[in-house]
Amino acid sequence: MTYNKTISVYEITCKSNARKYIGSSCFTELRFSKHRGKLRHNKHHCVMLQRAWNKYGEDAFVFQIVEICTLDTRLQREQHYLDSLWDTGVLYNSARRAEAGAGRHTTATRLLLSEAGKRRPPHSEATRKQLSVSNTGKKRSPESIARMTAAQQHRGPMSEAQKKLLSVANKGKKHTQEAVEKIIKAGIGRKHSATSIAKMAAAKTGKHPNEETRKKMSESQKRRPLPSAESRKKMSESQKNRLPRTPETRAKLSASHKGKIFSAETRAKMSAARRLRPPPSAETRAKLSEAGKKGKGIKKNITKTRTKQDNNND
């Protein structure tokens, strides 16, 4: 079953006593379905609503949308209805703040969950294989993807403390060869949309790694082995099929490099790196020679054309 993306504030009203439960959702129809399922199985998080359901029965309750809203105003509008009805005594809601029901744990709860996760033993190899087999071929529905996107949009940026914790937790971890191959296969043929490219460009604009980060990047590059002959061939083929840079791109690259001066230390590093590089093979030298000849021919034609234009202007 598919559900429409209806962003709204809704209410569940008991016709027997006129009391109601206020909530909001990005997928209201799906949220109604989940409420009904939990109430029918006596597992709803709102104890007062569950008791009323058990007492009066399913037919006594009406599920209806109160107001259609946007993703940005959803919680604000829910909070408005909670505030306006809170002192009347007609609400089943146990939390007065709209954020309390938006799936966000408190700091104390997050700490408890973190400690519980640390004590939990890692999955065995057999369990990991079973999980892998059960998830193979599964694809998330558009509704699930939309809900995940909405949840990420409400989540703020990670704090520096969180980034450090993640960095420490991931240090020394390496993908297996099988995992690396899966990642490569998953990425083959995948292309970012124009919107994604624009977002990534905007996120990186004006950002420059600090000295410490540059040193880490340099050290990681030094530890990386040289690409194999097969990898070099693949890289060469991909470059051949690549479209030439547009004049706009060339202008941007030229502007970004203007005025840049390498320090003596950087020049020494570049010189040392060139010395360590093996000399080009005979085949590579022949290719470079051909490319150079073509480039000279193009430059000569451009020069001749410009000379003719100058003579005509005179």
Residue 26's CATH number: 3.40.1440.10
pLDDT at residue 310 in the model: 54
Tokens of 20: 């109601």
pLDDT reading at 308 higher than 60 = no
Q: Which domain holds residue 36?
A: 8-101
pLDDT reading at 303 higher than 60 = no
The pTM score is: 0.38
Position 148 in a domain:
no
pLDDT band per the 50, 70, 90 thresholds, residue 313:
low
Position 222 in a domain:
no
Tokens of 232: 């070099």
Position 189 in a domain:
no
Position 257 in a domain:
no
User: What are the beta bridge partners of residue 13?
Assistant: 20, 62
Position 142 in a domain:
no
pLDDT at residue 100 in the model: 47
**Per residue in 226-285, pLDDT tens?**
888 888 888 888 887 777 888 888 888 888 888 888 888 888 888 888 887 778 888 888
Tokens of 79: 């909070």
Taking the CA atoms of the chain, what radius of gyration do you get in angstroms? Answer: 31
Q: What is the mean pLDDT of residues 162-180?
A: 84
Q: What is the mean pLDDT of residues 158-180?
A: 83
pLDDT at residue 307 in the model: 57
> Exposed/middle/buried for 260, CB within 10 Å: 0-12, 13-18, 19+?
exposed
Q: When comparing pLDDT for 99 and 2, which is higher?
A: 99
Position 85 in a domain:
yes
**Per residue in 192-225, pLDDT tens?**
888 888 888 888 887 888 888 888 888 888 888 8
Position 311 in a domain:
no
Position 80 in a domain:
yes
